[in-house]
Amino acid sequence: MKIAQVTPLYEAVPPKLYGGTERVVAHLTDALVDLGHDVTLFASADAETKARLVPVRDQAIRLDPAPLKSDLAAHMTMLAEVLNRADEFDVIHFHTDMIHFPFFRKCADKTLTTLHGRLDMKDLPEVYRRWSDFGLVSISDDQRKPLSFANWTATVHHGMPGDQYRFSAKSDGYLAFLGRISPEKRPDRAIEIATKLGKPLKMAAKIDAADKRYWEETIRPLVEGNPLVEFIGEIGDHQKSDFLGRAEALLFPIDWPEPFGLVMIEAMACGTPVIAFRCGSTPEIIEDGATGFLVDTMEQAIAAAGRAHLLDREAIRARFDLRFSSIAMARRYVEVYGDLIAARRPNLGAGLNLGLNDDVSKLRRIGEDRSFAVSA
């Protein structure tokens, strides 16, 4: 199968530090190549990939030191290049939200668009009503709720390469917080949980300019005044296995409907249980009492963090391998690609070679609702 992957240009592929969407695109692209598909990646020139790279910008926007730059112009240039080569591909898989819709309407039936962000914004419904011919993939079932009417074709959970994360059979007894310092991520909850348990908390977190005031006024005083809390700052992929694997539990105390938190499956890959508030996609990712605990209150969170050490870390890693590896993600996407091609060329039918094992290669009836967001 000839597949184009079209990524945002904000971060390198994969990112040097923070950047969830570009990280997922990187791992999906490489896994598709490993499955034997002919994959072309449209990205900035600093991308590292097993696929054929079409560089559309000299470097990722975030890494570019130029004081004046246009992200809109960069993405329009990339879309023009993809459109010029559209006939080369069986499937064009976009990860760029809705910006490509006006340009690709004539070939919408060979495109797939994965939406990676939140969808509860005022102006979005009209866009997805106007361009309803574009098939969409959600990254969790919960993500769909604000746009339940949209042209959803599948839910495919993210996956990560298992060999990138080192399993740790034992922890060093501390709790971990990994993510952004922002109000919706609730780092204050993480600090309170650790403090009330009397356990050390290590925080590896990025502080965006937009959240600087929140850090200075709300979180920094809690960190500097607490001997149990160590603020490490932003870390890269090569540091995550050590940071997450040595933790007794990852705290994921969000209070917004996050579509998918990659850090949850990164922790699972290390064998580390996750304490997550029941919000957004967390009930789809965490198997309560097996890979972590789902909680609704601070009291429950404190109690759950106190018994996280009782969970089987080998079993947690095994669930990651089964549900959230990059190969598992790629196989699910290939099945969706197969449906897309069969709808456009129905004579191919079940004879289409998807490069999958027999037990997952059967095409569903076109139009049948599907979700790969299953827990067991």
pLDDT at 351: 47
pLDDT at 370: 55
Q: What average pLDDT score do residues 147-176 get?
A: 95
Q: Is the pLDDT of residue 365 over 50?
A: no
Q: Is the pLDDT of residue 373 over 80?
A: no
Q: How confident is the model at residue 36 (pLDDT cuts 50, 70, 90)?
A: very high
What span, in angstroms and rounded, lies between the C-alpha atoms of 291 and 319? 8
pLDDT at 192: 97
Delimit the CATH 3.40.50.2000 region(s) of the chain.
2-155, 164-323
- What is the pLDDT of the chain when averaged over all its residues? 91
Residue 229's SS3 state is strand
Q: What average pLDDT score do residues 31-48 get?
A: 97
Name residue 177's beta-bridge partners: 203
**Which token pair is 140?**
């969790």
- Give the distance from CA 20 to its chain's centroid: 5
% the chain with pLDDT above 70: 91
Cis peptide before 161, with omega less than 30 degrees from 0? no
pLDDT at 376: 44
Q: Is the pLDDT of residue 219 over 50?
A: yes
Q: Is the pLDDT of residue 5 over 90?
A: yes
Q: How confident is the model at residue 225 (pLDDT cuts 50, 70, 90)?
A: confident
Going by CATH, does the domain composed of 2-155 fall within 3.40.50.150?
Answer: no
Q: How confident is the model at residue 354 (pLDDT cuts 50, 70, 90)?
A: low
Pick 12 or 357 by higher pLDDT.
12
Pick 200 or 360 by higher pLDDT.
200
Q: What average pLDDT score do residues 41-70 get?
A: 96
Q: What average pLDDT score do residues 281-302 get?
A: 97
Pick 365 or 18 by higher pLDDT.
18
pLDDT at 20: 84
What span, in angstroms and rounded, lies between the C-alpha atoms of 78 and 6? 9
Q: Is the pLDDT of residue 361 over 80?
A: no
Tell which residue, 323, 333, 288, 335, has the closest CA to residue 159: 323
pLDDT at 94: 98
**Which token pair is 90?**
């069986």
Give domain 164-323's CATH superfamily: Glycogen Phosphorylase B; (3.40.50.2000)
Q: Describe the crossing of helices 20-34 and 326-344 by its angle, rounded to 10 degrees.
A: 80
